[in-house]
Amino acid sequence: MAIEVRIPTILRPYTGGERAVESSGSTVGEVVEQLEADHTGIKERLLEDSADGWAVRRFVNVYVNDEDIRFTGGLDTAVSDGDTIVILPAVAGGADLAAQGPAPLP
């Protein structure tokens, strides 16, 4: 079963620079396990060990065909041949433009 997994820039060192890789499994959790087998070290960047087992890290978002897995079953979300999984790390920070006031006119 071929599932495309899109890899964010920050995790590409684990996939040899690949933007997307093919994986297999019937759930997101199984796909992550296969990713780890193929690309050692990536699992610990995506998941953390919790009291209930493995869970997606707080600042990592995972989508299956544009659906956020937090609302579709988490790591137990079913996947099938042809699905696309997108891994998207959350981004925070930047300048507080409101505190700087309006931009000067040209």
- CATH assignment at residue 15: 3.10.20.30
Q: In the prediction, which pLDDT does 51 show?
A: 86
Q: Is residue 12 part of a domain?
A: yes
Q: Is residue 100 part of a domain?
A: no
CB count in 10 Å sphere of residue 46: 21
Q: Is residue 20 part of a domain?
A: yes
81-95 per-position pLDDT tens digit: 999 999 999 877 666
Domain hosting 16: range is 3-91
Q: Is residue 18 part of a domain?
A: yes
Domain count, the chain: 1
Q: Is residue 66 part of a domain?
A: yes
User: What is d(CA 54, CA 29) in angstroms, rounded to the nearest whole number?
Assistant: 9
41-51 per-position pLDDT tens digit: 999 999 999 88
Q: Is residue 7 part of a domain?
A: yes
CA atoms within 13 A on the CB side of 54: 14
